[in-house]
C-alpha cells in the first residue's frame, strides 16, 4: 500500500483505514523535514495548488500555503474577497474557470456543506476539503489523529471526549469518523442544544454525555471545540458564563484528569470560554504541536494525492 | 366531428366500470360507451387503443406554472404541455408568482393565458393572505368572481394562528377549500433536510417533522372552529397522516395530498453528492414515513396524489445545496411512478389510483366530476400500462429539467389525452 485509494479527500470516509495510516506515516517524514533549517523539497515542482477559500480563514489557509511551498508547488490563493463569487459567479462557473487554468490540486473552504463535491464534478484537479459548512474538515481530523498517535503511540482503545458545539462543528464531523474508524471510543459532551439530531449515526463506539465531570476522569484525550458564535443562529445556551461553568475547563477540572491525559483544541481558542487562560497556557505546547503537525499532514495529503510514493521522500 | 376510441380497457370506479369498450366522443362529450363493435359512427376518426387503459382525465391540484414573473422556469403554455405529456387533463396552479396572485386581475391574467395557450384545463388558486405574507386577508371574494377556486399561501405556513383562523373563517363563505402548507418557521428556520440521520450525516440544517405536524394539528383545530374545508398540502410524515386520520374520523372536512417524491423517495436517497434535485419542501423524510404514506394513500386516508410540480432553471439548481431552491418537477413522471410502483406493484388497485388521481382532486375543489358515462365531458387519460421508459432530462416538455427521478425506469406512460374531446396528447406526442 503506497498510494491513496481515493482520488479526492472530501470526507473522512473517502479514506480507508490504510489510507489514514499511510497519510500519518508520510506526514511523520515531512514533520522531520520541517524541523530542518532548509525545509523545502522539490517533489511537487511545476505543480499548481490553488487555495480556494470562500470563507475567512487565516490559520488553515496559511497552513495549506506553507505545505504547498515546502513541496515546491506553485501555490495560488483565490480568496473570497478577491474572487468572482463576490460578483455573483456561481461555484460551478468558478470551478470551470479554475479548471481551464489547469490546476493540479485545489483546497476548498466554503460555508456550504457539499461544495467540494461540486468541484469534483467540474474540475480535473484533485480536491482537498479544507472545511465545508457544518459537514467535514478532514485535514483537521488527520492532524488531530497524528497528534494523538504521536503522543500515545496508537489510536485504538483511546478514550476521547469531544466537548462543545458538536452540532455546528465540521471538525467534530470528521474527527468522530476518523476516531471510530481507528478504534477509539468517543464521548460527545455538550448541552442537548449543541448536539446533532442523531449522534447514534456514528455507531456504538460513540456515546453522549451532558456532564463533563462524569466523563473527565476516564479520558485520555479531552478535545475542546471552539464555541463558534458566528455559526450559531439562535443562542443555544443562555450565556457564555453559564456555558463556561458547565462545560469549560480550568485548573480544577484539569486536576480530575488522568495524569497522562491531554487537552487538544483546533484553535483559535476563546480564552475564558471553553478553556480558562490558565488551561490554555498549560495545554499550549500541545495546541501548538497540533498546528505544527497540520503543515506536515497537509504536505502528506498533497504529496500522496499528486502521485508521490512514500519511499520518494527520503532525500 | 366524431371520434371513436376502440378497444381500450375503460375503468371508472365512479360508475363501476371496468371493461373493454368503445367510446364515442362527439361535441366534447362522451356520446356513447359500449362493448367493442356495438358503437357506430357515421363519419369521423377511429382509433384502436387495444392494450391501453382509458380513465377519467387525471387532475393535479398542486402545480407551479410560474407565470407571471418566472417565465424562464415555466409558463402556462409549457406547463400545460408538461401536464398533457404526463396524462393530466387539468391542473390547479399556485399563487406564489411575481406578482403574487392575490387579486382579481392576477387571477384573470392566468385564466386568459390559459385560454390562449393551454392544452389542459388550468384552474387557479389565489393567495390566502395578501402577498403571501401571512398578515392580512387577500381579496378572496374578488378572486372567486374572477375564477379562483381555492386559497393558499403555498410555499409558506401562515405563522400567526389568529390570522389563519380569520382566513379560514373568511374563506368559508365562498365555499372554497383552504389549502395549507404546514410549516412552523420557528422550528424549521433555515432547515433544508429532514432532521435526523440525514442532517447529521450531511452536516445540513435540519427541518424537523414536528415543524410540519404542529401546523397540521393547529389547522385541524381551526377547521373545527371555523367549519372551513381544510386541505393539507404535500403531507410528508407518518404522524401527519395520523392527525388527518383522526380528523376524518371526527367527521371534520379535512383532506390531504401526497407528492410522488414523498411516496417513493426518502432521506436515505440523499448522499454525499448533495443532489439539489432532491432538495424539496417539506424535505424527504424517513423510510418509515415514506412507507406510511404509501399505506395511507392505498387506504384513502390520503385523498389524492399531487405533484407540487416546481420547475427551477438549471443554473438555480446547480448551486450549493443550502443555496439551491426547493422543489422537483413532477407532472411528467407522476403516472409512471404511481402506476408502476403501486398498481403494477400490487399495492393498490387501478380503481384506487383513479380515485386518487382523477376523482378526489375535483371533489376536494368542488369541481364537476368527470365520469366515463354518456353525456359527460370527454376529459380522458389514456395510458399504456406495460411500457417501460427511462426518465431523461431531454424528454421533458417542462422548461425546467429538475426532476428528482432522472435516470429512473418507470412503468406506464400516457399515450393520449383528450380535453373536452380535443386531443392534447396523441400517440405520446403533445398536440400543438
Q: Are residues A131 and A48 both part of a single domain?
A: yes
Residue A180 CB neighbours (<10 A): 18
Provide the mean pLDDT of chain B.
Answer: 97
Q: Are residues A162 and A107 both part of a single domain?
A: no
CB contact under 8 A, A198 and B197: yes
Domain that holds residue A63: 12-136+294-307
Q: Are residues A144 and A276 both part of a single domain?
A: yes
pTM: 0.94
**Contact residues, B window 158-187, toward A, CB-based 8 Å cutoff:** none
Torsion, CA B237, CA B353, CA B52, CA B394, rounded to 10: -20
In a domain? residue A312: no
Q: What is the pLDDT of residue A233?
A: 56
Q: Are residues B168 and B196 both part of a single domain?
A: yes
| Averaged pLDDT, B381-385 | 98
| Averaged pLDDT, B382-391 | 98
Lowest mean pLDDT segment, chosen from A234-238, B204-208, B333-337: A234-238
Task: Name the burial class of residue B252, with classes exposed (0-12), middle (13-18) and buried (19+) by CB atoms within 10 angstroms of its CB.
Answer: middle
Chain B CB contacts of A114 under 8 Å are 202, 204, 272-274, 320-321
Lowest mean pLDDT segment, chosen from A82-86, B41-45, B204-208, B292-296: A82-86
**Which domain CATH number covers B12?**
2.30.40.10
Q: What is the pLDDT of residue A81?
A: 60
CB contact under 8 A, B203 and A199: no
Q: Are residues B385 and B349 both part of a single domain?
A: no
Distance from C-alpha of B253 to C-alpha of B373, rounded to nearest angstrom: 28
**Which domain CATH number covers A186?**
3.40.50.1370
Quick one: how far is CA B75 from the chain centroid? 17
Q: What is the pLDDT of residue A228?
A: 72
Full DSSP string of B278-299 = G--SSPP--HHHHHHHHHHHHH
Q: Are residues A277 and A205 both part of a single domain?
A: yes
In a domain? residue B404: no
SS3 A238: coil
Q: What is the pLDDT of residue B432?
A: 87
Q: What is the pLDDT of residue B58?
A: 98
Q: Minimal Cα distance from B206: which residue of A?
A: A197
Q: Are residues B133 and B7 both part of a single domain?
A: no
CA–CA min distance B326, chain A (Å): 16
pLDDT digit string, tens, across residues A101-118: 999 999 999 999 999 999
Q: Are residues B33 and B85 both part of a single domain?
A: no
Q: Grid coordinates representing A291? A: 498546528
| Averaged pLDDT, B396-413 | 98
Q: What is the pLDDT of residue A309?
A: 72
In a domain? residue B64: yes
Q: Are residues B45 and B170 both part of a single domain?
A: no
pLDDT digit string, tens, across residues B272-328: 999 999 999 999 999 999 999 999 999 999 999 999 999 999 999 999 999 999 999
Q: What is the pLDDT along chain A (315 residues), one digit of tens a residue?
A: 478 999 999 999 999 999 999 999 999 999 999 999 999 999 999 999 999 999 888 899 999 999 999 999 999 998 766 555 656 789 999 999 999 999 999 999 999 999 999 999 999 999 999 999 999 999 999 999 999 999 999 999 999 999 999 999 999 999 999 999 999 999 999 999 999 999 999 999 999 999 999 999 999 999 999 987 665 556 899 888 999 999 999 999 999 999 999 999 999 999 999 999 999 999 989 999 999 999 999 999 999 999 877 766 654
Q: Are residues B304 and B357 both part of a single domain?
A: yes
Q: Are residues A68 and A45 both part of a single domain?
A: yes
Chain B CB contacts of A55 under 8 Å are none
Domain that holds residue B388: 2-54+374-398+409-430
**Contact residues, B window 207-246, toward A, CB-based 8 Å cutoff:** 208
pLDDT band at B368 (very low <50, low <70, confident <90, very high): very high
Confirm if A31 and A293 have CB atoms less than 8 A apart.
yes
Q: Which residues of B are catalytic?
A: 308
Q: What is the pLDDT of residue A97?
A: 92
Q: Are residues B120 and B44 both part of a single domain?
A: no
Distance from C-alpha of B210 to C-alpha of B183, rounded to nearest angstrom: 9
Chain A CB contacts of B205 under 8 Å are 134
Q: Are residues B253 and B116 both part of a single domain?
A: yes
Question: How many domains in chain A?
Answer: 2
**B319 in A contact zone (CB under 8 Å):** yes
In a domain? residue A23: yes
Amino acid at each position: 500500500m503506497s498510494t491513496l485509494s481515493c482520488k479526492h479527500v472530501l470526507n473522512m470516509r473517502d479514506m480507508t483505514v490504510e489510507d489514514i495510516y499511510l497519510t500519518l506515516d508520510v506526514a511523520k517524514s515531512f514533520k522531520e523535514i520541517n524541523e530542518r533549517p532548509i525545509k523545502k523539497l522539490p517533489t511537487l515542482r511545476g505543480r499548481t495548488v490553488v487555495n480556494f477559500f470562500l470563507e475567512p480563514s487565516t490559520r488553515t489557509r496559511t497552513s495549506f500555503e506553507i505545505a504547498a511551498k515546502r513541496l515546491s508547488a506553485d501555490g495560488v490563493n483565490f480568496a473570497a474577497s478577491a474572487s468572482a463569487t463576490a460578483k455573483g459567479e456561481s461555484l460551478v462557473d468558478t470551478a470551470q474557470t479554475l479548471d481551464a487554468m489547469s490546476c493540479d490540486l485545489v483546497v476548498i473552504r466554503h460555508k456550504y456543506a457539499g461544495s467540494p463535491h461540486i468541484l469534483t464534478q467540474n474540475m480535473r484537479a484533485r480536491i482537498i476539503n479544507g472545511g465545508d459548512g457544518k459537514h467535514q474538515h478532514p485535514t483537521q481530523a488527520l492532524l488531530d489523529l497524528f497528534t494523538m498517535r504521536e503522543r500515545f503511540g496508537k489510536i485504538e482503545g483511546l478514550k476521547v471526549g469531544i466537548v462543545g458545539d458538536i452540532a455546528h462543528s465540521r471538525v467534530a464531523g470528521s474527527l468522530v469518523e476518523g476516531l471510530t474508524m481507528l478504534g477509539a471510543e468517543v464521548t460527545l459532551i455538550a448541552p442537548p442544544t449543541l448536539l446533532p439530531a442523531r449522534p447514534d449515526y456514528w455507531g456504538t463506539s460513540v456515546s453522549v454525555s451532558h456532564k463533563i465531570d462524569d466523563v473527565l476522569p476516564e479520558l485520555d484525550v479531552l478535545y475542546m471545540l471552539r464555541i463558534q458564535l458566528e455559526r450559531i443562529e439562535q443562542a443555544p445556551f443562555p450565556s457564555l458564563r453559564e456555558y463556561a461553568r458547565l462545560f469549560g475547563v480550568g485548573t480544577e477540572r484539569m486536576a480530575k484528569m488522568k495524569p497522562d491525559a491531554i487537552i487538544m483544541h483546533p484553535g483559535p481558542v476563546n480564552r475564558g470560554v471553553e478553556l480558562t487562560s490558565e488551561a490554555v497556557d498549560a495545554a499550549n505546547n500541545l495546541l501548538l504541536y497540533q498546528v505544527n503537525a497540520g503543515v506536515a499532514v497537509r504536505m502528506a495529503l498533497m504529496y500522496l494525492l499528486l502521485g508521490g510514493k512514500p519511499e520518494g521522500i527520503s532525500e | 366531428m366524431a371520434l371513436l376510441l376502440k378497444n381500450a380497457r375503460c375503468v371508472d370506479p365512479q360508475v363501476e366500470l371496468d371493461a373493454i369498450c368503445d367510446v364515442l366522443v362527439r361535441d366534447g362529450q362522451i356520446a356513447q360507451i359500449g362493448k367493442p363493435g356495438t358503437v357506430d359512427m357515421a363519419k369521423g376518426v377511429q382509433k384502436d387503443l387495444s392494450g391501453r387503459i382509458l380513465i377519467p382525465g387525471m387532475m393535479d391540484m398542486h402545480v407551479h406554472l410560474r407565470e407571471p414573473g418566472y417565465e424562464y422556469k415555466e409558463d402556462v403554455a409549457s406547463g400545460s404541455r408538461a401536464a398533457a405529456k404526463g396524462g393530466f387533463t387539468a391542473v390547479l396552479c399556485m399563487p406564489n408568482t411575481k406578482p403574487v396572485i392575490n387579486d382579481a386581475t392576477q387571477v384573470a391574467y392566468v385564466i386568459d393565458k390559459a385560454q390562449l395557450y393551454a392544452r389542459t384545463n388550468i384552474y387557479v388558486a389565489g393567495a390566502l393572505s395578501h402577498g403571501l405574507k401571512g398578515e392580512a386577508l387577500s381579496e378572496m371574494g374578488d378572486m372567486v368572481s374572477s375564477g379562483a377556486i381555492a386559497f393558499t399561501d403555498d410555499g409558506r405556513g401562515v405563522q400567526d394562528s389568529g390570522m389563519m383562523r380569520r382566513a379560514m373563517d373568511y374563506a368559508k363563505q365562498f365555499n372554497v377549500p383552504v389549502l395549507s402548507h404546514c410549516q412552523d418557521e420557528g422550528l424549521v428556520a433555515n432547515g433544508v433536510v429532514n432532521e435526523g440521520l440525514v442532517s447529521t450525516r450531511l452536516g445540513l440544517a435540519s427541518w424537523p417533522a414536528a415543524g410540519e405536524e404542529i401546523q397540521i394539528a393547529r389547522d385541524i383545530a381551526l377547521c373545527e372552529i371555523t367549519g372551513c374545508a381544510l386541505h393539507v398540502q404535500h403531507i410528508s410524515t407518518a404522524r401527519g397522516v395520523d392527525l388527518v386520520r383522526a380528523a376524518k374520523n371526527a367527521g371534520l372536512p379535512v383532506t390531504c395530498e401526497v407528492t410522488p417524491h414523498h411516496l417513493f423517495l426518502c432521506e436515505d436517497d440523499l448522499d454525499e453528492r448533495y443532489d439539489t434535485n432532491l432538495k424539496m419542501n417539506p424535505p424527504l423524510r424517513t423510510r418509515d414515513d415514506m412507507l406510511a404514506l404509501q399505506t395511507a394513500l392505498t387506504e384513502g386516508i390520503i385523498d389524492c396524489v399531487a405533484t407540487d410540480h416546481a420547475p427551477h432553471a438549471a443554473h438555480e439548481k446547480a448551486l450549493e445545496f443550502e443555496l439551491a431552491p426547493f422543489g422537483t418537477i413532477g407532472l411528467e413522471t407522476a403516472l409512471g411512478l404511481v402506476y408502476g410502483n403501486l398498481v403494477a406493484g400490487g399495492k393498490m388497485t387501478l380503481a384506487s389510483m383513479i380515485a386518487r388521481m382523477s376523482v378526489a382532486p375535483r371533489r376536494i375543489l368542488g369541481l364537476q366530476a368527470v365520469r366515463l358515462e354518456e353525456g359527460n365531458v370527454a376529459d380522458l387519460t389514456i395510458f399504456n400500462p406495460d411500457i417501460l421508459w427511462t426518465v431523461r432530462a431531454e424528454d421533458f416538455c417542462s422548461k425546467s429539467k429538475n426532476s428528482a427521478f432522472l435516470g429512473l425506469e418507470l412503468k406506464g406512460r400516457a399515450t393520449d389525452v383528450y380535453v373536452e374531446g380535443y386531443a392534447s396528447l396523441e400517440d405520446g406526442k403533445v398536440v400543438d
